[in-house]
Chains A and B, each alone.
Chain A
């Protein structure tokens, strides 16, 4: 063989072999540190990025698909996520931790010691993961323990509507301790730049879809969740409150809200009424999904395993006298609610407690469109201490109101509600046995394993019913 032909053949083989070697990760890791001075691509590892001042970004840079942005403790501006989609390739923004912080060059463990605080995030593009990584699982209301704080997340329909978001381990909202009573304040609504923690809103043919908001805290804003024009949304393991609006979680609202799951949340003073709405300012329902005119747009919604607590007397209600008028949880139109009926929706195993005993109307029932099909509200319980209307509308089974404080471990109802514990101190009367995924409570305890399916958010059981803690320190290479 001619020597040149032989060389060409060998080179061709080498090229083929190199092409066959799998490429595990092409994505880059980028570093964001308060005070960094990196510009262009120099804050990313492939261009020499690391935790040193000169090699890290001071703020979130323009994001690149596939990259992971590790963020150190500090204070940062809000930012806009508008990088064009590339298939399903993610943008990942993650709090750095001692266990997982990319390169060790320039790293100090103090970068993981406290929160990274951002302003508002405009969620205009798709496929994004925002992960604060940590929180205090013993106290979901411990705002400082969350890896990230954001003032809010916000779409901008009809055009800039993000899809496929996973947001976890984040604190979102205004200033802790601010009383957003009657008059708006810069300390509320996250500095008045928005009125929601999570504005997951789309419009007609461009809905916000496939959002997971998990292990979060929403507080000191007007409305924690607005989901008008959203579907396929999961809201779980969150602390919601205190907040001031006529709902804590709003869906429907003249657009689509279907395939929404709201589970395992603690809503504590999450619906204190709208301070700007005069005599109509009362909370209408903590979770309200109604008021749209297209059939099917309120279907397949599931609300289960949540604790809803209102403490009293809350400061803005001592002389108010205006309370709920439409129940605590409502799905679908009809029955005097605006909009089409909901179908195939469920309200299961929620615990509702502590509503005020004022003489005015205070309806904290649960209900789903009575004219719909496949709906059921079952196994919900109330702890009633005052003049409260409880009960169930639509198709119902095995819902119970308790007045016996010994039913619960520590049924605190007085403001600020510190230390409340609505785990069961004894079994309830038997509830309706349900299939997965409704067969676990928010602690992961399997329902009915002792022969009795308890009502309420928490399953009671003797013996070893408590699951282990969630594994920690998970890494991937």
Chain B
């Protein structure tokens, strides 16, 4: 099992350690509900050091990423980031990623913890361009600061204050205590905030610095449990749930990041054919209207009792305070107001398809 630089810090903060994607991380400290609520009302601090960092450099770095991922990398400029996905030939998702452009010949890719080695092997296998991929995951810790108080917290730290000027999905490097920190205005919670890539030697001190600066702002450490309930309320997909190698990226709802007009990329032909034929399934968000909680991998039926899909995620979330979830279902039942039935422990619970996302941060 791998440990992040913050392992002992989590223990001293009362973190309940579990194993996730081969890493030992806290699922919670004081509790999923108060942690989630703190992020929605003030701010939360997340150890996301298990995520992977792959650098791509070379004269054809952009072309390589254009071919190996589905979004249009040519739309990036220096200091801008882009959500994208690595697709396989069938149009399934190898991983969803964020690409950060330093310049035309240097990019950083943030990948899911569970897929870091797989993604690097995939890039290595399929890269036929004049570009070099380097897996630097072992060199970086990562910390996310999320919530409406995130900006006032960074402004308390002189060396970090300038990141408050970053626009959404932009990034820059800053020097903090002699170390180079990559700061990005990105996040996985549906709140404003930042994700910081920190060299492993400085991860603990950077965490403590943020925790101290946020002490009077209501900043609370958040474990994996709250990370999941927050992203679910915002309807952000999770690989292994809404996204997978055997699920069409279009069915998963990634159509908005698949750019068919940009030139060839792995998965383009399969998805183009699917688009022409018409999608069979879609990702629906739902509220459970019968008493009960729905989770992932539970079969979904129509009113006549035919199975029409499967759930991908679900729980009762702290802010929305309803049993809700997402499911991959036949397109006949993806429209708002559709009635579906989800089988939980042998009992069918009625649910209603609703508009996504469940939660949108106040303007």
The finding on whether chains A and B are genuine partners in a shared complex, rather than unrelated, reads no
